[in-house]
Amino acid sequence: MKKINLGKSGLQASEIALGCMGMGKLSVKEAEQVIHNAQAHGINFFDHADIYADGASESVFAEAAGMTPAVREGMIIQTKAGIREGYYDFSKEHLMQSAEESLKRLKTDYIDIFMLHRPDALMEPEEVAEAFDALSSSGKVRHFGVSNHNPMQIELLKKHVKQDLIVNQLQLSIMHTGMIDAGVQVNTRHGNGVDRDGSVLDYSRLNNMTVQAWSPFRYGNFEGLFIDNEDMPEVNAKLQEIGDKHGVSKSAVAVAWILRYPARIQTIVGTMTPARLTAIAKAAEVELTRPEWYEIYRAAGNELP
């Protein structure tokens, strides 16, 4: 498994990460198999959030991992805060409390990356800065990032926050390509030329900020999966064709497509099925050619100007 440097942090993380949102539904024994299988494929990065199964995903993970200092040393653990029932909350009080509770559930003394989950319209960046300073100075959080934020929201935070924001987790898949479409369709009247994300991919590259792709197999927001979806025959046929050429599954090609993008995107894969993760991990061995990448992009229904 290839490693990438997250932002300018020096953290060497697997380019495919295990998203642990579904781990709260597993038994400890099942979760242990998932974690060990991920590590066997070189995955050292585990993505959490306080809301995943109301915190149970973090608890099951720690129990299954048999968290000790030696075990913890071999992992990069990320968690998020800010989503509450019916609203978002970036208040200092909530961020501090959420971090403390995640530390307890994860049975660790520190979080590698603590993220703001979704933009809070009522955010006071000074409060965020105070929370980050307290968590950083105490050693409880080593690095910080955001999720689902656009460049101007990040710039506002950076005006007040002393710590580098090293990652931005964003939805990206073959069937959810708005961030890419806007760049391809520059200076056209095509509907996909509308920039809804503030050129966030280019911004991230210019600012040495690692993009993490979430939901790499979904279309729309939460409509469903496109892999083996009978309503999406063209993209599945192309994934099968290219997968056969490289000796990997359609899911692996879908991840390889994201990894091929020059921004060095880290892909968050949330499967809790070890065999499926084994197949997906082979994406790290595939480098799609430029024609293959565009063939997949067009098969997903995207037009080139």
CATH of the domain at 252: 3.20.20.100
Is residue 253 within 8 Å of residue 296, measured between CB atoms?
yes
Instruction: Count the neighbouring beta carbons within 10 Å of the beta carbon of residue 70.
Output: 8
Residue 266, domain member (yes or no)? yes
Residue 24, domain member (yes or no)? yes
Residue 229, burial from CB neighbour count under 10 angstroms (0-12, 13-18, 19+): middle
| Residue 18 in tokens | 């295990």
Can you give the pLDDT at residue 223?
A: 83
Residue 1, domain member (yes or no)? no
What is residue 50's DSSP assignment? T
What is residue 261's DSSP assignment? S
Query: How far is C-alpha 230 from the chain's CA centre?
Result: 27
Domain tally for the chain? Answer: 1
d(CA 137, CA 242): 49
Residue 29, domain member (yes or no)? yes
Instruction: Give me the domain span that covers residue 291.
Output: 12-299
| Residue 77 in tokens | 């653990």
Helix, strand, coil percent content, the chain, rounded in steps of 5: 45, 20, 35
Segment holding 46, helix H or strand E: strand 45-47
pLDDT, one tens digit for every residue, the chain (305 residues):
999 999 999 999 999 999 999 999 999 999 999 999 999 999 999 999 999 999 999 999 999 999 999 999 999 999 999 999 999 999 999 999 999 999 999 999 999 999 999 999 999 999 999 999 999 999 999 999 999 999 999 999 999 999 999 999 999 999 999 999 999 999 999 999 999 999 999 999 999 999 999 999 999 887 899 999 999 999 999 999 999 999 999 999 999 999 999 999 999 999 999 999 999 999 999 999 999 999 999 999 999 99
Residue 141, domain member (yes or no)? yes
Can you give the pLDDT at residue 41?
A: 98
Q: What type of residue is 18? A: L
Q: What type of residue is 32? A: E
% of the chain at pLDDT higher than 90: 99
Residue 31, domain member (yes or no)? yes
pTM > 0.95 = yes
Segment holding 115, helix H or strand E: strand 111-116
d(CA 38, CA 31): 11
Instruction: Count the neighbouring beta carbons within 10 Å of the beta carbon of residue 2.
Output: 13
Residue 206, domain member (yes or no)? yes
68-77 long-range CB contacts below 8 Å, 24 or more apart? 72/108, 74/39, 74/44, 75/44, 75/45, 75/46, 75/112, 76/6, 76/11, 76/13, 76/44, 76/45, 76/46, 76/112, 76/113, 77/46, 77/48, 77/106, 77/108, 77/111, 77/112, 77/113
Residue 115, domain member (yes or no)? yes
